[in-house]
Amino acid sequence: MSHSKTYTKKEISKVLTKASEIQTAKDLFDDQEGLTEEELIHVAEEVGISRQVLLEALHSIDEPDLNEQTYNLIKGTSRIQDVSTVKGEITDEQWEELVLEIRKVTGGIGKINKTGKTYEWEQRKSDFGYKHFSFTPKNGETKIQMVSSWGPFKTLASFLSFFFGFVVALIPFKEISGKQLALMIAPFFGLGGFAMSRFFLKSYFQKQKTQLTKLTNVLSKKIQSFGASQNSIEIENRNVYQSQEKTGSERAEERNA
């Protein structure tokens, strides 16, 4: 009498799926640490992924992803960037609408430029930094590249925080313990103020990241809506259509009479 276990349909499906994953991993990486580009293309074609699609994925793998960028407390990160591709090519008229959306989200006015097919919007502030956005339409798609940097603002915030901590400590300790001791203690308070600036800059980093994420979503939806409106059917002359419809109804009345 056999004592082997009987598996349900659900368990069978789960076991086969897991076995397939294990077999695939073994076939791909057994006795080697990775795959070359041609080997990866060959594997992709075997599972139904075209060569062109895989090459596009390979070219975009090194592009910065905004979701993966985090704040470095020690360095005080002061720059973020994002690259994305949206279906649909923008035109000069549509570019004007995108600029309006950029101004709404950023709350500022920037310099507009066009180099070849690439549309650019740039905003520079000497005390804060700069924002630079570019839109490149090609092969039925638009590549969006965004950079936001606030290096000068980081430097200013760090210096003022150190200076404020230094002065706040220097004045009372000078009155209590004398100038020499105050000058020895005040720098430590200055460093404390400098450390606090890093936490302030962290909140500023998150604010800029949220703004860039919102802008990416808004502009992507806007560009996609351009493509949808181009594919819609429009009646070029409604007056002619209404006139023809009226004439048809009048003919029907004449036949009934």
Q: What's the rounded Cα separation, in Å, for the pair 48 and 50?
A: 6
The residue type at 83 = V
Closest CA to 171 of 161, 183, 162: 183
Q: Is-contact 87 224, C-beta < 8 A? A: yes
Confidence bin at 122 (pLDDT 50/70/90): very high
pLDDT at residue 84, as a whole number: 87
The CATH number for 97's domain is 3.30.310
Predicted pLDDT of residue 234: 46
Domain holding 120, by residue range, is 66-153+197-228
If one counts the domains in the chain, the total is 1
pLDDT at 24 over 70: no
pLDDT at 169: 87
Least confident of 27-31, 82-86, 91-95, 159-163: 27-31
pLDDT at 21: 65
Bigger pLDDT: 125 vs 65: 125
The per-residue pLDDT for 245 is 47
Task: Show Cβ contacts of residue 35 under 8 Å, excluding neighbours closer than 6 positions.
Answer: 28, 43
pLDDT value of residue 200: 94
Q: Tens of pLDDT along 147-173?
A: 999 999 999 999 999 999 998 888 887
Q: Which of 214, 201, 202, 94 is nearest to 146 (CA)?
A: 214
pLDDT-based confidence at residue 201 (cuts at 50, 70, 90): very high
> Has residue 4 been placed in a domain?
no
Q: Does 238 reside within a domain? A: no
26: in domain? no
Q: Residues 6 or more apart from 118 whose CB is under 8 A from it?
A: 134, 135, 136
pLDDT tens-digit readout, 208-231: 999 999 999 999 999 988 876 655
The share of the chain scoring above pLDDT 90, in percent, equals 39
Classify residue 81: in a domain, yes or no. Answer: yes
The more confident residue out of 109 and 251 is 109
More reliable by pLDDT, 206 or 139: 206
CB 114 within 8 A of CB 189: no
Q: Is residue 44 part of a domain?
A: no
